[in-house]
Structure formats: C-alpha cells, structure tokens
Amino acid sequence: MFDPFGDFETAGYLRNSHQDKDLDIVKVAEHALFRAQLPEALAYLSRRERIGYEDFLEVHQLLFSALYPWAGTDRAELLPEKAVPKGSKTFNSTALRPRSRC
C-alpha cells in the first residue's frame, strides 16, 4: 500500500477528505473529479502564456482538492524530510527539488 504520510490507518488513503481506506473507492473518486474538473484546469492553462511549476501545482489543486485537502501543495512543503518511493521511482528527493526563487 502506497502510504507516504505513514498514517493510513487513521487518515485513510493519502489523507483523503473522507478518510476512505478502500483504494477502489478512492480511485473512482479521483477519476470522477479529474473528469469533472478537467475543463476548468484546461481553461486555466489556456490563459497562461508560459506554463511553469506553479501552474502545475494550481492544476493539481483544481483537479483534486475536493478529495485531497493538500492537493496543489509542493511535496517539499508537505513532506519536507521524506523521499517518497513508488515502485522504481522516488519523488521528493532532496537532490531533485527545485531551488527556491527568493
């Protein structure tokens, strides 16, 4: 079970807003939200002259925030000290994080 937060038993799969633990239910909800919110996400992107990382976060928030309260939050902010493995890939590796643009 993919559990980057380490709190599946108390918060459900990926801390979803309903605390569902049944992955089949969560995947159906994700798919339905994606389809419902896709026109809004595409409209947002069509207004952008250039698409950057911040736009990626905004689209993620538009698509999935109804299910995941953390949607649109950078993983470095969400899980600052944790690399997240999923299969053969590692996400949020400190070596791969974009540098702050202060």
CA proximity to 65, closest of 91, 90, 36: 36
Which residues span the domain enclosing 77? 8-91
Task: Assess if residue 100 is contained within a domain.
Answer: no
In a domain, 98, yes or no: no
pLDDT band at 78 (very low <50, low <70, confident <90, very high): confident
Answer yes or no: are the C-beta atoms of 72 and 65 closer than 8 Å.
yes
> In this predicted structure, what is the pLDDT of residue 75?
84
pTM of the predicted model as reported, rounded to 2 decimal places: 0.79
Residue 39 lies in a domain: yes
Strand extents, DSSP E, the chain: 84-86, 89-91
Residue 69 maps to a domain: yes
Q: What is the mean pLDDT of residues 57-67?
A: 98
Going along 49-98, which residue ranges are E strands? 84-86, 89-91
Count of domains observed in the chain: 1
